[in-house]
Chain A
Amino acid sequence: MKDLHVSIEPGRREVMIAAGAALLPLPFASGAEAATLSEAPLGLGRDQAFDLDWRFFRGAADGLEAPGTDDSGWRRVDLPHDWSVEDVPGGQPPRQIGPFDKSAVGGTATGYTQGGEGWYRKHFRLKALPADARVEIAFDGISVTSDVWLNGHLLGTHVHGYTPFAWDLTPHLVRDGDNVLAVRARNIGRNSRWYAGSGIYRHVTLNIFPSPARIARWGVGAWTRRILDRHAEIDITTRIDNADPALTLVTRLRSVQGKIVAEASTPAGSAVSQSLHLDAPQLWSPDNPYLYALETELRRGTLVIDRLIQPWGVRIVTMDAANGLRINGTAIKLRGGCIHHDNGLLGAVAFADADSRRVLTLKARGYNAIRSSHNPASATLRAACDRHGMLLIDEAFDAWHAPKLKDDYSKYFREDWHAALEALVLSARNSPSLIMWSIGNEIPERSTTEGMAWCWQLANEVRRLDPTRPATAALNGVLGDPIIVSEKAARPGFGGKEDEASAAFLDVAGYNYRLEDIEADHRKRPERIIYASETFSHDAYDYHALAERAPYMLGEFVWTAMDYIGEAGIGATKRIPNKGMPFYLAQWPWVNAWCGDMDLIGHQKPPSFARDVIWGLSPLEMMVQRPVPEGQVEFVAQWGWSDELPSWTWPDASGRTLAVRLYCSGDRVELRLNGKLVGTKALTAADKMRAELPVPYAPGLLEAIAYRGGKEIGRKRLETVSAPARLRVVPEKPRGGSDRHSLSYIGIDLLDAQGRIIPEGEVKVRLMVHGPAELVAFGSANPLAVGSIQSAEARTFRGRALAILRSTGARGSVRIEARAEGLQSAAATVRLA
């Protein structure tokens, strides 16, 4: 018998098994991270991992779904997999560099990566199953469109690249012999404004039920209705497929220790409503993301025929214009970041470890919220948000009926919107981190008569599917004509009131780049709840100040919290002639957006240091603008930031005066160069925590000191480094998991003889990995195409590179050795257990 699995603390699983009642000897589990990775013959159970040992063919072809297709020569892959980050087959520099291709149809939008078509096949056998057992396969996401066949029979086509879906395998199963699944994934044409990735890039699981009666897919919805006097009342609705009068539904909450803390038992019809009463609840919040296990059990007599376990949190989220956002009664401002779905060097693949690292990286920088722009988040990202206390806005669409690109989702919208919304909302509604459903981002023609009708339709459907969370959308530009909505069509309390076409049907309005409009709009529409759904980094201070003084303003989501592949160079800086047009449009070889607070491998960029000060994480940060040559000026793209670095190593700047930027929450800063005072500045509110001081460059030690009320509150030093001398290998964690889904992140630093990172060091590094792990990504944060991101060779950028290892499934030590010509090599070891 396999273990029960639940994606919460290690050790808890065993407690839960011991505490379980009258278990049928069947494994039932749930949660994206709950799946086991055994490739043993498949028996009964939910969420059985189905990721390993697929065969892959990159190319377009017809008929590869036929059971007799010879796939013995196809490449073996373990999912999740994204072929768009693999080196271009036969690629020739300079037009092809690693996975980047200057002629890729997506151009800057997809970071010059290739899409195309790919085929996956997987052979499997089943254990002997009861005669009326049901088998379904569940995909968390395939990019971009997909067709799935079992034994040559088409099961279905899916057109939304980010929504989960399942197909029933039962009618076409060979129960006593070989089965072959075939999946065709297509990423064709200009279909995305960002890097989408290609293939089965999220997890696949198999559900095998002993009988047709089961808990319906996404059939459980639980929400905290009331918290009062250290008591919580929780309402749960459960849908049962093929229910009959002999069935009982048991729903319970277990604590982290596995103890049952609330339980209800009810005869099971097709739809069951239950209430749980919980004393002394542990509340979920960003600061204390306590997760219970919500256990749903379908029984026939004493036999458990289906069981679903989901991490779940007790919390009440309220939003209104007078009080803003409150979680469990405590006011909170959204310190949010928009993110695209890629995991940097890994491409689009959704590994739990990668998503967890991403969330923790942002959490460490003070973020408490993510906007999954512009698509539904993966189950692994959502689970990470639940686990680490990161609030989440999940977004359905980037386009409705009118296209942004000729091949985008708008082609399918009219037929698919309902299925897409249902998949988004029902699959994710039990995540405590999720606070709003976004029905769209910068939707074209949203304010027209047709656009308004769609907006109503979508927002209303979201409320029907989940009336416990508000509907929102991200609105750019202007909000459309002033309108009056009838009582029938309006949100409660808003019938007959004047509003604007884009916002009238939304519970909460997301403003993209509309800083100047927020207070003006509030004066006209005081009941409107607003948050800044996209912002520029350079406005961070203003948004923070506004959110602090305006309760109706919930907070901001910067574009973006992290760099991502695609939208290449929207945050570029460039030196251009000072007499020319002040304009630069980034093109090849730019491949990443370079607009993130954090770079592609998770390190802070200058806007992040500035934000640290604005958000109170640091009293002082210091940057130096890269010297601008005579006759040139620095052009900064709208989403960009001046080209400055935390560096005092400028070998070509001897004798020149450099701009030193200080971000400071004090009222005075001073600068000392090699012990001598070279500048001081008093800061007022008008400075918005920023000072710039000119300093003649001389190598040595540059030191900034911040004061408030005459008292020192912070000190920063920048030293001139010497020549590169050696490498350093820095595992982010000394231990990792040994299962096939475990990743280990290994930093590679370029140092001088004194052990200081070379701020602009670029050297080629060769990596050797010995032990039970494979190198799945190796590269840097460089926004330009400079090479493969999957080979054992990469160039450092700004003194750093990152290697990502995937465990092979065996335990043991992995030794990582890094070498570079003329430098002292380095090595480190990670234990996988």
Chain B
Amino acid sequence: MDAPLYPPSQAYEQPSVVPHRMDTTTTSIAALLADPAAKAIIIAEIPTFMARIGNEQLKPHLYNFSPRSLVQFGVFKTDALDRVDQQLGRLPPTTTFAK
């Protein structure tokens, strides 16, 4: 039995983004809010959206959490997010990083 090795890679090169559609499951809140069209859909469906993500503990994690990943913490409900997803699905794929 040989031990595995985890060698360092050669150099950093910025990855390329795979075109993808935004949704409330895999797209971060920050990315959704950075896209004007997506933001408009969200605010229309969940008018209290900004207040719900406004607490100090949550703010640092807006790039880490999608709206749906906060369902387990009681921040959002799935029915509203389902409606948001239906409309996000009509937007063209995005090809840029969130930031």
Report which A residues bind B (CB closer than 8 A): 223-228, 316-319, 328-329, 399, 402-404, 442-453, 456-457, 460-461, 463-464, 467-471, 475-486, 488-492, 498, 501-502, 504, 507, 513-514, 583, 638
A444-B61, A480-B28, A489-B15 known; A449+B99 contact, CB < 8 A:
yes
CA distance A317 to B97 in the complex (A): 36
A316-B1, A328-B1 known; A478+B15 contact, CB < 8 A:
no
A444: nearest chain-B partner, CB-CB: B60
Which of A449, A450, A468 lies in contact with B6, CB distance below 8 A?
A: A468
New A-B contacts (16) at CB < 8 Å, excluding given A328-B1, A477-B64: A226-B1, A226-B2, A444-B63, A448-B97, A449-B14, A449-B97, A449-B99, A451-B63, A452-B14, A452-B15, A467-B6, A468-B5, A478-B69, A480-B98, A485-B15, A489-B9
Is B12 in contact with A456, judged by CB distance below 8 angstroms?
A: yes
Is B9 in contact with A447, judged by CB distance below 8 angstroms?
A: no
Is A638 in contact with B73, judged by CB distance below 8 angstroms?
A: yes
CA distance A403 to B57 in the complex (A): 11
Which of A227, A460, A489 lies in contact with B1, CB distance below 8 A?
A: A227
The 8 A-B pairs of least Cβ separation, nearest first, read: A477-B65, A483-B15, A477-B64, A482-B18, A448-B99, A444-B60, A463-B8, A488-B10
Chain A residues with CB under 8 A of B28 = 447, 477-478, 480
Total residue contacts A-B, CB cutoff 8 A:
145
B:18-57 near A, CB below 8 Å: 18, 20, 25-28, 31
Does B13 interact with chain A (Cβ within 8 Å)? yes
Q: List 5 A-B contacts (CB under 8 A).
A: A316-B2, A317-B3, A442-B64, A448-B99, A489-B12
A226-B2, A226-B3, A483-B17 known; A402+B10 contact, CB < 8 A:
no
Is A478 in contact with B6, judged by CB distance below 8 angstroms?
A: no
Chain B residues with CB under 8 A of A486 = 13, 15
Chain B residues with CB under 8 A of A328 = 1
CA distance A491 to B61 in the complex (A): 27
Does B92 interact with chain A (Cβ within 8 Å)? no
Which of B10, B14, B26, B74 lies in contact with A453, CB distance below 8 A?
A: B14
Tell me the minimal C-beta distance from A571 to chain B in angstroms: 14
CA distance A178 to B13 in the complex (A): 55
Is B1 in contact with A447, judged by CB distance below 8 angstroms?
A: no
CA distance A444 to B65 in the complex (A): 10
A477-B61, A478-B65, A481-B97 known; A469+B6 contact, CB < 8 A:
yes
A329: nearest chain-B partner, CB-CB: B1
CA distance A290 to B56 in the complex (A): 47
Is A484 in contact with B98, judged by CB distance below 8 angstroms?
A: no
CA distance A483 to B13 in the complex (A): 12
CA distance A192 to B18 in the complex (A): 36
Is B11 in contact with A489, judged by CB distance below 8 angstroms?
A: yes
Tell me the minimal C-beta distance from B84 to chain A in angstroms: 15
B:83-99 near A, CB below 8 Å: 97-99
Tell me the minimal C-beta distance from B78 to chain A in angstroms: 12
Is B3 in contact with A484, judged by CB distance below 8 angstroms?
A: no
B94: nearest chain-A partner, CB-CB: A481
Is B63 in contact with A448, judged by CB distance below 8 angstroms?
A: yes
Chain A residues with CB under 8 A of B72 = 513, 638
Is A477 in contact with B60, judged by CB distance below 8 angstroms?
A: no
Which of B2, B6, B15 lies in contact with A471, CB distance below 8 A?
A: B6
Is B64 in contact with A488, judged by CB distance below 8 angstroms?
A: no
CA distance A457 to B10 in the complex (A): 11
Report which B residues bind A (CB closer than 8 A): 1-18, 20, 25-28, 31, 60-61, 63-66, 69, 72-74, 97-99
Chain B residues with CB under 8 A of A502 = 64
Tell me the minimal C-beta distance from A410 to chain B in angstroms: 10
Chain B residues with CB under 8 A of A225 = 2-3
Which of B11, B63, B69 lies in contact with A447, CB distance below 8 A?
A: B63
A316-B3, A448-B98, A463-B7 known; A483+B63 contact, CB < 8 A:
no
Tell me the minimal C-beta distance from B88 to chain A in angstroms: 14
Is A501 in contact with B9, judged by CB distance below 8 angstroms?
A: no
Chain B residues with CB under 8 A of A316 = 1-3
CA distance A448 to B18 in the complex (A): 14
Tell me the minimal C-beta distance from A128 to chain B in angstroms: 47
Tell me the minimal C-beta distance from A311 to chain B in angstroms: 19
Chain A residues with CB under 8 A of B98 = 447-448, 480-481
CA distance A329 to B1 in the complex (A): 8
A483: nearest chain-B partner, CB-CB: B15
A477-B65, A478-B64, A498-B18 known; A460+B8 contact, CB < 8 A:
yes
Chain B residues with CB under 8 A of A463 = 6-9
CA distance A584 to B9 in the complex (A): 48
B19: nearest chain-A partner, CB-CB: A482
CA distance A226 to B11 in the complex (A): 29
Tell me the minimal C-beta distance from B5 to chain A in angstroms: 5
Choose among A447, A452, A457, A583 the residue with the greatest number of B CB atoms under 10 Å from its CB. Answer: A447
Tell me the minimal C-beta distance from A699 to chain B in angstroms: 39
Tell me the minimal C-beta distance from A465 to chain B in angstroms: 9
B24: nearest chain-A partner, CB-CB: A478
Is A318 in contact with B4, judged by CB distance below 8 angstroms?
A: yes
Chain B residues with CB under 8 A of A317 = 3
Is B12 in contact with A453, judged by CB distance below 8 angstroms?
A: yes
B10: nearest chain-A partner, CB-CB: A488
Choose among B15, B16, B64, B97 the residue with the greatest number of A CB atoms under 10 Å from its CB. Answer: B15
CA distance A56 to B72 in the complex (A): 47
Chain A residues with CB under 8 A of B31 = 481
Chain A residues with CB under 8 A of B20 = 481-482
A478-B28, A491-B9 known; A468+B3 contact, CB < 8 A:
yes
Is A477 in contact with B66, judged by CB distance below 8 angstroms?
A: yes
Tell me the minimal C-beta distance from A16 to chain B in angstroms: 28
Chain B residues with CB under 8 A of A467 = 5-8
Is B26 in contact with A404, judged by CB distance below 8 angstroms?
A: no
Chain B residues with CB under 8 A of A449 = 14, 97, 99
CA distance A467 to B27 in the complex (A): 33
Choose among A225, A402, A444 the residue with the greatest number of B CB atoms under 10 Å from its CB. Answer: A444
Tell me the minimal C-beta distance from A429 to chain B in angstroms: 13
CA distance A448 to B63 in the complex (A): 8
Chain A residues with CB under 8 A of B2 = 225-226, 316
Chain A residues with CB under 8 A of B5 = 467-468
Chain A residues with CB under 8 A of B25 = 478
Is B3 in contact with A501, judged by CB distance below 8 angstroms?
A: no
Which of B16, B61, B97 lies in contact with A484, CB distance below 8 A?
A: B16
Which of B12, B26, B64 lies in contact with A444, CB distance below 8 A?
A: B64
Which of B27, B60, B97 lies in contact with A404, CB distance below 8 A?
A: B60
Chain A residues with CB under 8 A of B63 = 444-448, 451, 480
CA distance A463 to B9 in the complex (A): 9
Tell me the minimal C-beta distance from B93 to chain A in angstroms: 11
CA distance A453 to B1 in the complex (A): 34
Tell me the minimal C-beta distance from A716 to chain B in angstroms: 32
Chain B residues with CB under 8 A of A470 = 6
Tell me the minimal C-beta distance from A460 to chain B in angstroms: 5
Chain B residues with CB under 8 A of A404 = 60
Is B12 in contact with A457, judged by CB distance below 8 angstroms?
A: yes
Is B18 in contact with A483, judged by CB distance below 8 angstroms?
A: yes
CA distance A492 to B10 in the complex (A): 10
CA distance A492 to B72 in the complex (A): 36
Tell me the minimal C-beta distance from A566 to chain B in angstroms: 14
A442-B64, A447-B64, A489-B15 known; A507+B8 contact, CB < 8 A:
no
Is A450 in contact with B61, judged by CB distance below 8 angstroms?
A: no
Tell me the minimal C-beta distance from A413 to chain B in angstroms: 14
Is A476 in contact with B61, judged by CB distance below 8 angstroms?
A: yes
CA distance A328 to B69 in the complex (A): 37
Is B11 in contact with A224, judged by CB distance below 8 angstroms?
A: no
Tell me the minimal C-beta distance from B90 to chain A in angstroms: 20
CA distance A228 to B99 in the complex (A): 50
Chain A residues with CB under 8 A of B73 = 638
A227-B1, A484-B16, A638-B72 known; A478+B7 contact, CB < 8 A:
no
CA distance A299 to B10 in the complex (A): 38
B99: nearest chain-A partner, CB-CB: A448
